[in-house]
Amino acid sequence: MSERHDVVVVGSVNADLVIGVERRPAPGETVLGSDLATYPGGKGANQAVAAARLGGRVGILGRIGDDGHGALLREALADAGVDLAHLLVTDGPSGVALITVDTGGDNSIIVSPGANARLVPGDVERARPMLGGAAVVSFQLEIPIGTVQAAARTAAGAGARVVLNLSPPAPVPDDVLALCDPLVVNEHEAAFLLGHQGEPALLARELLGLGPRSVLITLGADGALVADPSGVTAVPSPKVEAVDTTGAGDAFTAALCLRLACGDGLADAARYAARVGAAAVRKPGAQSSYPGAGEELPA
């Protein structure tokens, strides 16, 4: 029997090791930073926690290590109410992200995949009941592309809506692109796929030509563009003072997936997601910044 979820996330689970800096160092330069802070993170876990906090029924397929970081990550997901039936434990280290955040709230990130690199297509097959019971299945690219491909095919075959956030940017098989509804990218990721930069509305139309059913380009404080065969729609973002942008894109995608699971059209779901993303930049950290279901969002 299928396990019913609004959103299932197939993706990474990382510990975020964060240091604040006045400015990020140039090559060969050393700068002093703040005390090291450790937060639960990873694009997959971030999306799962964000969607669950917003009231969704959420499951995750991912891997953690048998180390102290793994225990922290499991606890954070459990506290948010995420279904952990397919959160698997691997011998060795959990994934880790090394993050610097400057005084403007912008971040730079280096990811060591750890256990995330050991999420394999066989894990997808064992999670088939959960994938088959989801309204929306969300993916990112901090796990092996072969696993993304297997899970996307499984989810789409069971009737779930497939949402792929192309982050970090990497080549994606054509058959996976064809399942995306939407493909979610920022301007850098769009340029990676297309091989050039350009005006966002033109990029959105060109991305549609690669095969996805719909496209969403996030534009940071400028909101987002959504595109499907009927046209391109601009979605504004509320204006807020950014403290830390870490994980804000994951909050946006999670909220988007949840509203799509609830039956919203893509533009309406993106408008809600922009408000959730704006709320997330007002506090430090990734998961620690995500709003709850009853929290007032920026207008």
The model's pLDDT over 282-297, given as tens digits with 9 standing for 90+, comes to 988 789 899 999 899 9
Q: What is the pTM of this model?
A: 0.92
Please indicate if the annotation marks 204 as binding a ligand: no
Query: Per-residue DSSP letters for 68-119?
Result: HHHHHHHHHHHHHT-EEEEEEEESSPPEEEEEEE-TTS-EEEEEE-GGGGG-
Q: For residue 287, which of 48, 67, 65, 68 has the smallest C-alpha distance? A: 48
Task: Tell me if 61 sits within 8 A of 8, measured CB to CB.
Answer: yes
Task: Tell me if 271 sits within 8 A of 216, measured CB to CB.
Answer: no
Q: How does the average pLDDT of the chain come out, rounded?
A: 95
> Does 250 participate in catalysis according to the annotation?
yes
Catalytic residue among 67, 83, 250, 264: 250
Q: Find the mean pLDDT for residues 193-204.
A: 96
Residue 242 pLDDT exceeds 90: no
pLDDT at 3: 66
Given the structure tokens 């800096």, which residue do they identify?
Answer: 21
Task: Tell me if 91 sits within 8 A of 117, measured CB to CB.
Answer: no
> What sign does the dihedral 79-257-12-111 (CA atoms) show?
negative
Residue 214 pLDDT exceeds 70: yes
pLDDT at 158: 95
For the chain, list the domains and their CATH numbers. 5-13+42-94+114-289 (3.40.1190.20)
Please indicate if the annotation marks 44 as binding a ligand: yes
Please indicate if the annotation marks 133 as binding a ligand: no
Q: Find the mean pLDDT for residues 40-69.
A: 97
Q: For residue 93, which of 121, 120, 72, 123 has the smallest C-alpha distance? A: 72
Least confident of 8-17, 204-213, 281-290: 281-290
Distances (CA, A) of 282 to 14, 241, 245, 246: 22, 6, 8, 10
Q: What is the pLDDT confidence band of residue 268, given thresholds at 50, 70 and 90?
A: very high
Please indicate if the annotation marks 16 as binding a ligand: yes
Please indicate if the annotation marks 15 as binding a ligand: yes
CA distance 83 to 88: 12
Residue 14 pLDDT exceeds 60: yes
In tens, the pLDDT along 172-185 reads 999 999 999 999 99
